[in-house]
Amino acid sequence: MASHNLLLLPGDGIGPEVMGEVKKVADFLGKAGVATFETETDLVGGAAYDAHGVAITDAAMKTAMEADAVLFGAVGGPKWAKVPYEARPEAGLLRLRKDMQLFANLRPAICFPALADASSLKREIIEGLDIMIVRELTGGVYFGEPKEIVTLENGEKRAVDTQVYTTHEIERITRVAFDLAKVRRNKVTSSEKHNVMRSGVLWKEVATRIGATEYPDVELDHHLADSLAMQLVRWPKQYDVIVCDNLFGDILSDIAAMLTGSLGMLPSASLGAPDAKTGKRKALYEPVHGSAPDIAGQGLANPIAMISSFGMALRYSFGLGQAADLVDQAIADVLASGARTRDIAEKGANAVSTTDMGDAIVAALKRRA
Ligand code: NAD
């Protein structure tokens, strides 16, 4: 049975609570003979600051670099509002992304039938939705230089951010999107604004070339980012994989996320380049939500986003697609049975606790395994 090294970084707030439920799922898969997971746990964010004065230690970073995958809970909270900027909780996540060179952010937006009525859109628009947004994570306008605010001679200020992309950066992110499409519904929509941005012109050109030369069997179309934003709320099911830059991806993935309901349901993956020798990508999996200090420690957190993030690790880091399907099905079963944590429960309806939800998912796994 294959064994995989997993670094668990629960972090702050509800992070440790939702990570606890992932451990149950991993233990079950081990006992069921699917795969064993050698897990190590370390501190990140405010918890690391309290213990070591930094948002992540060099030792934890080293473990992360050597792990087959990192599972990250969430960081931050009011307790650390005044810590030095370089040691703020988010710095731990930023260092992980930077040192592991995680350039591809994968955000699935899946609507479980049982939750279709929780969406702000009509059931027929959202039911059965299953799209994937691939966002470039390490380039573009958030990082391009110059990035500054200068004072002009007349005393006025001038702020500059720079949108920069190279051929190589666009090639590698579009390849991630095409590879995903091949194991999904074979369709990529590349999004930029080539009508007003030079980086958009290059983006479209490179995506077109990669599609034509390396993935001729995958359908490729191009949507301007503003029009795509409208289409996402009009008829999102027309899409399969959407690929876009850092800025547009930030916005479009949040729109797509909210189509499906609660933050407590949304997983994500961040992937690096394949290793030249092993072909393995560095990878970090995390729920989209934060540390939710308002509900931390009360057993109210929904662990599904964290458990689904582990499901993505099974699929994208460990080649355990069947086990990932099993986890997805178990979550769907539990939702279909009516179990809801407070964030996805109807007003006034009874809600289950974090641990109850985790236990129910493990029980559903047992029934299906
Ligand atoms: P948040 O995602 O923590 O919470 C927003 C709202 O959603 C809250 O009402 C919260 O109770 C609810 N919520 C979030 N996750 C939930 C879950 N699993 N189950 C049930 N309800 C859930 O965002 P915020 O309140 O803006 O930020 C809180 C802290 O988290 C801040 O310190 C922020 O910087 C940090 N944060 C961290 C990350 C990360 O670690 N990647 C991401 C976003 C925010």
Q: In which band, very low, low, confident or very high, does the pLDDT at 347 lie, cut at 50, 70 and 90?
A: confident
- Residues whose CB falls within 8 Å of the CB of residue 275, separated by 6 or more in sequence, listed in order: 281, 282
**Catalytic (active site) residue 250:** yes
Residue 349 has pLDDT above 90, yes or no: no
**Segment 236-244 mean pLDDT:** 97
What is the share, in percent, of the chain residues with pLDDT greater than 90?
89
Q: What is the mean pLDDT of residues 22-42?
A: 95
Evaluated on CA atoms 42, 47, 50, 53, the torsion sign reads positive
Kindly report the backbone phi and psi dihedral angles of residue 112, in degrees, each rounded to the nearest multiple of 5, phi listed first: -75, 135
Rg (CA), the chain: 21
Is the pLDDT at 267 greater than 90? The verdict is: yes
Domains annotated for the chain, with CATH where assigned, are: 1-105+277-369 (3.40.718.10), 130-259 (3.40.718.10)
pLDDT at 96: 97
Closest CA to 87 of 137, 41, 52, 138: 52
Give residue 173's pLDDT band: very low, low, confident or very high (50, 70, 90).
very high
Average pLDDT of every residue of the chain: 95
- The answer to whether the beta carbons of residues 75 and 11 sit under 8 Å apart is yes
Catalytic residue among 50, 254, 275, 294: 254
Average pLDDT over every residue of 162-166: 97
Q: What is the pTM of this model?
A: 0.94
CB of 358 shorter than 6 A to ligand 1 = no
Please pick, among 250, 325, 356, 359, the residue that the annotation labels catalytic.
Answer: 250
